Structure 1
Amino acid sequence: MRATDQSRPSSRRGASGAWNRLKPPREDALESYGLPSKGETRLNDFKTQEIYYNRIVERYMKFCAASPNGSDLDAHFASLSIQSTSLKSSTITTEEPQTIPDPPMANTSTGELAKILSALRKLREGITATARCDLFAKRAYIFNVHAAILCRDWESYHPALVTLLNKIHPQTPLTPAELHEYVGYLILDQACRQGDYTGAHETRLKYKYMDWRVQCVLQALVADNWVVFWKMKKAVDGYQRRIMGYAEQTIRVHALKCLGRGYMSADKRFIESCADRQWSDLVDDGVGWELTETDRVIIKKPKAK
């Protein structure tokens, strides 16, 4: 009986240890709130919104600091792009390119960015639910626009842009420099992503927007002028360049189709300048033209008589 009694404490300690190991994992601060549109009400509090925003910014800055260089950071942002396009050799002159998923990036990096963008959506919904248009709302929406543009997440930056310009700006005005910046983003989004050239020009006239680079982008898109488009891509800032990326594939396919119709062969460097892409990347995309040892690209071979 004594042996049995002595064994009981150790048995209880084992159960206690097992219970401790089954404790739930610590909840992620960015996932501690649900979507206000789904019934979450805690984000309707102004102070809670501000604390949550500070957590988002902190996580975003840590994510950026963790990337060893700018190229890796750009790759992580690009990894959230929903689709990229591929050029098939048979589509250069006849069909539009098919769409394929982007190459997968590190799951941890992609997952962290996705959490940040999801948290920004929750914050936006909380600000909208409280009809907040003060300096904090302005700052939060500006941050949202910048982060989402870098990730090319138009479902996040476009509604933020529209709200910033149409609802917040009338009550908490943007500075002239800020207004110029965000109107420019909206114009480029309308032209490059939506293909709405009329809407882009209407926005330009509405805000009396003047920027020769953006104007050149609009003209290049309307005229299918890939030479000017690629030049402007190098002339604009990083955020504008991200938005221009939505039109890149259309411009590239058009350029290659023109080459396919007008040339039997061309120098490799000329092909790369027209497509704004390295030859090896074009081959990976599916371009089936032949490269000779003299760096001459055979586009079409003469038909046998």
Structure 2
Amino acid sequence: MHSTKPVRPQGSRLRPVADPLERVGFVSKGDRTLLNQQAQEEYYNKIVERYLRFCSDHQKDLDTAHASLPMSSSNDATSNPPAAQPTSKTTPAAQGVPPPSAELSKLLLSLRKLREGILATSATSLPGFAQRVHYFSIRLAILAQHPPSYFPSLEHCLNRLHSKSHSMPDLEVKDLVSYLILDYACRQENMLLAFELRARARREHAFESQVVDRVLTALMHDNWVVFWQVHKSVDSYMRAVMNWAADRMRRHALKAVGSAYLSAHVDWIVGGCTGDDVNWTWEKLLQEENLGWQKDGDKIVIKRPRIRPPPIPEHTKSQ
């Protein structure tokens, strides 16, 4: 009688197909795949294709998907995009859609590999391709709010890739200069460098932007009304850079309202102070800012007037 061994399912012997973005390594760690121009272009096309799929997968709430990276390492200039945390069975990953933080991290890391490859072959690479990669990378990293992935590229793009012999389109240069000025002002809170860069950009690139001028003025004067007006009017890239200053402008607004009003309508406080009456509620604002104000129907009581005791009658004073 022959002994029988349990049959292992055939599929279990197969290794999962490696992600084409992860198969490529860093040039700085010895991988030579991206030292070839054709390989660079093919890799870039795969990144763009994956990003378009990312946008399609999360089209119902793309802003939230872009903001899904943990913020703890956002201002660390040496950090890679953080890895995604394990997800539950109820997340989109269980349905074949990777969590947005995982996919964003992979895209940003892949773009860093590609930039390394382009930098290593800068003597032979086409400048136009390098400019296109950096412009795409900067804008994606801005939406993801990951400065280590966009800030060095902004300076490299404007100072090295854009030149008289190989100039970028005027509109793209204006975009990059605007992002850099606003990053100095909103994220780094360095108004001196922001104004210096604006002056230099006016000389070197004939840069003019009413949007940037209004944001700088609003930040200098703590003018939260103008700041939120501009915030609502700009595109998603400019708004993402401005978001670095959103917390402090919201607190300036609450401080100003608290010192000037005894009470106000809840919608005016939520919408006016946060610049966003869609994603903010009174309950969220109360918890986030630890306010001591009280809600009374549709009214927020900021402070109650002191009730003075009635004056003492004159005839009782003489007694």
TM-score category of the 2 structures, normalised to the smaller one: 0.7 to 0.9
Per the alignment, residue 25 of structure 2 pairs with 34
Q: Does 1:298 align with 2:301?
A: yes
Indicate if the aligned counterparts of 1:190 and 1:200 stay in contact, CA closer than 8 A: yes
Q: Separation in 1 of the partners of 2:156 and 2:166?
A: 12
State the Cα distance separating 1:149 from its structure 2 match.
1.3
Per the alignment, residue 147 of structure 2 pairs with 154
1:193-272 equivalence runs, <5 A: 193-208=187-202, 209-272=207-270
State the Cα distance separating 1:24 from its structure 2 match.
2.3
Report which stretch shifted further, 241-250 or 150-159: 150-159
Out of 107, 115, 123, the position equivalent to 2:114 is 123
SS in 1 for 2:213: helix
Q: Which runs of 5+ in 1 are unaligned?
A: 84-103
Out of 70, 75, 80, the position equivalent to 2:64 is 75
Count of residue pairs brought into register by the alignment: 273
Q: Separation in 2 of the partners of 1:40 and 1:257?
A: 54
Per the alignment, residue 47 of structure 1 pairs with 38
Query: Looking at both structures, which has the greater relative contact order when contacts are Cα pairs under 8 Å and sequence separation is at least 6?
Result: 1
State the Cα distance separating 1:75 from its structure 2 match.
1.0
1:79-98 equivalence runs, <5 A: 79-80=68-69, 82=71
SS in 2 for 1:297: strand
State the Cα distance separating 1:20 from its structure 2 match.
5.9
SS in 2 for 1:30: coil
Q: Separation in 1 of the partners of 2:24 and 2:283?
A: 46
SS in 2 for 1:266: strand
Change (3 A) 1:291 1:173: same
Per the alignment, residue 138 of structure 1 pairs with 131
Letter in 2 for 1:22: R
Q: Does 1:165 align with 2:158?
A: yes
**What is the root-mean-square deviation in Å for CA atoms of aligned residues?**
2.4
Residue-by-residue CA offset, 1:42-65 (whole Å, 9 max, x unaligned): 222222111111110111111112
Q: Separation in 2 of the partners of 1:143 and 1:59?
A: 13
Query: TM-score with structure 1 length normalisation?
Result: 0.81
State the Cα distance separating 1:148 from its structure 2 match.
1.1
Residue-by-residue CA offset, 1:41-96 (whole Å, 9 max, x unaligned): 32222221111111101111111122243xx111100112516xxxxxxxxxxxxx
Change (3 A) 1:26 1:299: same
Q: Separation in 1 of the partners of 2:235 and 2:100?
A: 24
Change (3 A) 1:303 1:62: same
Letter in 2 for 1:146: R
Per the alignment, residue 276 of structure 1 pairs with 275
Change (3 A) 1:225 1:62: same
Q: Separation in 2 of the partners of 1:106 and 1:256?
A: 37
Moved over 4 A (4+): 17-20, 104-107, 302-305
Residue-by-residue CA offset, 1:267-299 (whole Å, 9 max, x unaligned): 223312133244243134243421102x22112
**Higher share of residues assigned helix:** 1
State the Cα distance separating 1:259 from its structure 2 match.
2.4
